[in-house]
Copies of this chain bind each other. A is one copy, B any other.
Amino acid sequence: MAAESLPHELIAKHRPTLDQALEAIRTRAYWSPHPEHPKAYGEHGSLSLAEAKAAFDALLGTRLDLGQPGTDDWVGGEVSPYGIELGVTYPHADVDVLLPAMRAGQGAWRDAGAELRAAVCLEILKRISDRTHELAHAVMHTSGQAFMMAFQAGGPHAQDRGLEAVAYAYFEQTRTPGTAEWSKPQGKRDPLELTKRFTPVPRGIALLIGCNTFPTWNGYPGLFASLATGNAVLVKPHPRAVLPLALTVRIAREVLAEAGFDPNLVALTAEGPGEGIAKTLAVRPEIRIIDYTGSTAFGDWLEAHARQAQVYTEKAGVNTVLVESTDDYQGMLSNLAFSLSLYSGQMCTTPQNLLVPRTGITTNEGPKSYDEVVTDLARAVDGLLGDDARANALLGAIVNPDVKARLEAAAALGEVALPSREIVNPEFPEAVVRTPVIVKLDGAKPDAEAAYLSECFGPVSFAVAVDSAADAVDLLRRTIREKGAMTVAAYTTSRAVEQDVEEVCLEEAAQLSLNLTGGVYVNQTAAFSDFHGSGGNPAANAALCDGAFVANRFRVVEVRRQA
């Protein structure tokens, strides 16, 4: 064991960060220990941009051997949305060997206690942070995110979400004391006295089913929540986004081993093309927790069939922006334009339906008709993405052919207010880069419903003409209730409309952003402060991160004896 990894030293090293995280989730003020600026890296053990690029390039075409037991094959095949074939192969597990091996170290991990587990998790996060630039490349070349977004969302923001989960897990496990002396008065007789010991115990092995678009951001909360509560974690990445999670698993295994624990507490299994191992793994009796981000169909399947496990899902939703009035018309337009463009709308939080009264809206620039609002928004998007370099930096690449196909089909759904443009990426000529399409739909027409009441994941937005603000509020309610929503936004200067929108969001459990006109966007949430999803509408059955996200990943066993 490395000297630095002695338990008390690990705890001493990370306790201040843990305490700050605990304070942040309590106050929900801004906080992060993970720098957002690329230049903050390259010293104190962290990789510089150049070192990281070299490390990433050295990975290409190699076998990523994690030293796991029960590896029966090596599989890979990732092709970057930017056109590079990664050529990395990963272990494919014989789970009948791997799962028992993962259980072997759970007793010692449980006995380590919540504080040491948290410290080990924070050491893993620190090592991940040190390799942020390398992970940024891995995220970029699996998700198609532009480098800066891959760096920030895949790096510090993902690490924040992981740390947040550790803090929640630590808090939850320590709110019951380790021991208690219980003395019950019996009048004149001696009191009844018991000594009680309370131990958080893991549920078993957790399965993390990774997603294509945000492998680390959406993966770290479940991974760290399960690990910090004593469970072993099997990581099953999306076949197109293995590398970021494989690097994560490698780091976790290194830290666990250095700290004297069994590295098999965290393991990876990749899969061959079309193998669909998640379905098999999810119903294994050893798997007691599942975290999943992806399609509604498979999320619903997991919830229905993986009955032996606690299942946490983030699925599809239809996100709405209600546009009724604003006192900062230009601010609204540029804020919305950014939200629609970022990562080519391939975020679960990107707005899809823009509800605008057909009678128009009031603004600080005077009344604007429905057509004017849509035209002005189209112009704002065009302006934002007019420069190809900036467009490439904002849009990234289309993550897979399905998104491209949906984008191309969208133009046929209604009148196109803003056509999608093809952008050339000089550095990666094979990348498919597209600007968003905005399609006008009449909310009163039944045939339009099929379009705007389905999730159209990708750079597609619908400007839905509605009869009135009240009509928009009704449609908002129906959309959340039937389809779910990760985000809702509204622009209104009317206190009455604001209250109606808030009431719908409270009743249907959706997270609401009001009148954002500056540098915060509806599709972004900050760990320690914002909840991602609510867990109360069909888009997700859990929120990142709250007590419910961690409380059922462990159980407390009490041993009591006469004092």
Chain A residues in the interface with B (C-beta under 8 A):
26-30, 107, 110, 172, 175-177, 180-186, 192, 194, 196, 198-199, 201, 203, 303-304, 307, 502-503, 505-507, 509-520, 526, 529-531, 534-536, 543, 546-548, 551-552, 555-562
Contact = CB atoms under 8 A, between A and B. Distances in A.
A526 B182 contact: yes
Contacts of A562: 514-518, 520
A192 B543 contact: no
A19 to B, nearest CB: 16
Contact of A507 (B29, B177, B201, B519): B201
Contacts of A30: 182-185
B558 A180 contact: no
A551 B555 CA distance: 14
Given A526-B184, A551-B548, A534 B557 contact: yes
A201 B552 contact: no
A472 to B, nearest CB: 17
B531 A28 contact: no
A500 to B, nearest CB: 13
Given A201-B507, A512-B559, A512-B560, A26 B551 contact: no
A530 B303 contact: no
Contacts of A199: 506
Contacts of A506: 110, 199, 201, 557
A364 to B, nearest CB: 15
Nearest to A533: B555
A302 to B, nearest CB: 12
Contacts of A507: 107, 201
Given A192-B519, A516-B561, 15 more contacts: A176-B546, A192-B518, A199-B506, A201-B506, A201-B507, A505-B559, A512-B558, A512-B560, A515-B562, A531-B558, A534-B557, A543-B555, A546-B556, A548-B548, A551-B552
A323 to B, nearest CB: 15
Contacts of A519: 186, 192
B557 A546 contact: no
B513 A561 contact: yes
Q: Which of A29, A199, A543 has the most CB of B within 10 A?
A: A29
A172 B561 contact: no
Given A507-B201, A519-B186, A555 B529 contact: no
Nearest to A536: B555
B558 A182 contact: no
A560 B186 contact: no
B201 A536 contact: yes
Given A199-B506, A507-B107, A509-B201, A548 B558 contact: no
A250 to B, nearest CB: 29
A534 B556 contact: yes
Contacts of A196: 28, 529-530
Nearest to A186: B519
| Ranked 6 nearest A-B pairs via Cβ | A536-B555, A548-B551, A28-B180, A514-B561, A547-B551, A548-B552
B172 A547 contact: yes
Given A530-B558, A547-B172, A557-B511, A29 B516 contact: no
A237 to B, nearest CB: 28
Contacts of A535: 552, 555
A357 to B, nearest CB: 21
A172 B304 CA distance: 28
A47 B139 CA distance: 69
A201 B502 CA distance: 12
Nearest to A328: B562
